[in-house]
Chain A
Amino acid sequence: MAQAVQTRGPVTGTAAARTRRKKPFLLDLYSTAVGKKYVMAITGIMMIGFVVAHMIGNLKMYLGAADLNHYADFLKHLLYPLAPKGVTLWLMRAGLLAALVLHVHAAYSLTRLNHQARAVKYQGPRDYQVANFASRTMRMTGIVVALFLIWHLLDLTFGTVNTVGGSGTFVREDVYQNVVNSFNRPVVAIFYILANIALGVHLFHGTWSLFQSMGWNNPRFNSWRRGIAAGIATLVVVGNVSFPIAVLTNVVG
């Protein structure tokens, strides 16, 4: 601002400002709390897009083994022959991995910042008014989803744990049979269902929250934001949870 303001010496105990070094533009933006929230929102949108597309793609399961396996093969041929086989898929995976790393890093550093911002907690009980279960448990549901993601990759992408405690062999190209083998283990199916509910809870707050963080604010549409969040969360949970149930009830298999 144009005016120079004289800084006054602190009164006893006055809070001291945290200082940060000036960095190159994008890094500098990322080093601010609001900047990190933009990153949370944008990477969140990328991952929401993935989760929704992943669920819709997997619905092919209901059309039978040939359809699902054909769809899996199609993913490897995205933009083929413009891009060599598998390259587009790997670029998308790299983008998602980058989004995930940034999302987790921003969440971790914001959490630390927030703990510092209230170093001494309230000593009496808090009485929250509007903070809901989803918003209060973002960190927990996020961790559950991250752990699930590791399992899920080992199970159905790398196949390392695909048949542990179950039957059959992992065949990379036979996605359908791999899914059936995996979900025929009830413990895996239950873990999968619980993790997806955690994902839904995470999405319910995250999808609403990203509109606020990005400043997509229009009084005409603001009331829709909760509905969109609830809709996406429900869509993903209902779709994903139906797969293990379908396998366990022999609808698929």
Chain B
Amino acid sequence: MSHHLQNLVLKIWRQTGPNDAGHFESYRIDDISDEASFLEMLDVLNERLIADGKEAIVFDHDCREGICGTCSLMINGQAHGPQKGTATCQLHMRTFRSGDEIVVEPWRATAFPIIKDLMVDRAAFDRIIEAGGFITADTGGAPDANLIPVPKPVADAAMDAAECIGCGACVAACPNGAANLFTSAKIAHLNLLPQGQAERYSRVEAMVDTMDQYFGSCTNHGECEAACPKGISIDFIAMMNQDYRKAKFKNRKALART
């Protein structure tokens, strides 16, 4: 049986553009099905705003099934809201009660400037990927399966890292606005696999140095891991720190020996 939430008070961040100061605006909304997702609730609110001749609230969203990493939103002081291991699109209104006040803010980081209202520009993540989040290899036909043997635990660990959808919740949740969890996941998912070994150290150096140009530094609070909709472990940050250290100190001509 669905149930409807009444008298929700939404305190939503409105900002006309990157250089506007912005402010919170309160909206009262009734008759929201508890089966609605958080984004559907915002859709309903937008429909009502448009019907009243007001400007709709701008927010990022795409797949709405937790795999694309487009949606964001700081909900009641938590990245992607109070539910563990999910993106905002997978958060449902049944998590809330009638009469609740819900504060909605965009990700806040200098590297993620606000475009409008709740939408931020996450291009800094693209810069990190461009620096080394790929394998330089000949393209061609798909290789035969199992041509390169990969131990099962290694494949599993690489997959855990590759789960990162690049939503930026780690940066948003980090008290320092650091992107170590994102960067480390993107590095680990290639550096763990045999295909990634040739560029392992140049990759970690290039990606960490690019990260350094935009983001804050890690103080090991662990907030990123708690906020991550994919539950990516901060063990990957340690792995990245280790690879960066090796990248800086190893004699790369002798790398094949280790």
Partner among A35, A118, A136, A214 whose Cβ is within 8 Å of the Cβ of B108 = A118
* A110 to B127 alpha-carbon distance, docked (Å): 22
* A11 to B18 alpha-carbon distance, docked (Å): 11
The answer to whether A215 touches B220, judged by C-beta atoms less than 8 angstroms apart, is no
Q: Mark B170-200, 1 if CB is under 8 A from A, else 0.
A: 0001011110000000000000000000010
- Chain A residues in 8 Å Cβ range of B223: 128-131
- Chain A residues in 8 Å Cβ range of B219: 110, 114, 135, 138, 209
- Chain A residues in 8 Å Cβ range of B76: 124, 127
- Chain A residues in 8 Å Cβ range of B241: 34, 37-38, 212-215
- Chain A residues in 8 Å Cβ range of B222: 130-131, 135
Chain A: interface residue count, which band?
35 or more
Q: Taking CB as reference atom, which chain A residue is nearest B246?
A: A215
- Chain B residues in 8 Å Cβ range of A122: 74, 77, 105, 108
Interface residues of chain B: helix, strand, loop or mixed (majority): mixed
Q: Which 6 pairs across A and B sit closest by C-beta, in order of nearness?
A: A215-B242, A13-B18, A117-B216, A217-B238, A127-B77, A117-B177
Can you sample 9 A-B contacts with CB below 8 Å?
Answer: A1-B199, A2-B199, A5-B130, A12-B18, A34-B244, A113-B216, A212-B238, A215-B239, A215-B240
B residues near A, CB below 8 A? 11, 13, 17-19, 24, 74, 76-78, 82, 103, 105, 108-115, 121, 123-124, 127, 130-132, 134, 136, 173, 175-178, 199, 202-203, 206, 208-210, 212-223, 225-227, 234-235, 237-245, 248
A residues near B, CB below 8 A? 1-3, 5, 10-15, 17-20, 29, 32-38, 110, 113-114, 116-131, 135-136, 138, 205, 208-209, 211-217, 219, 222
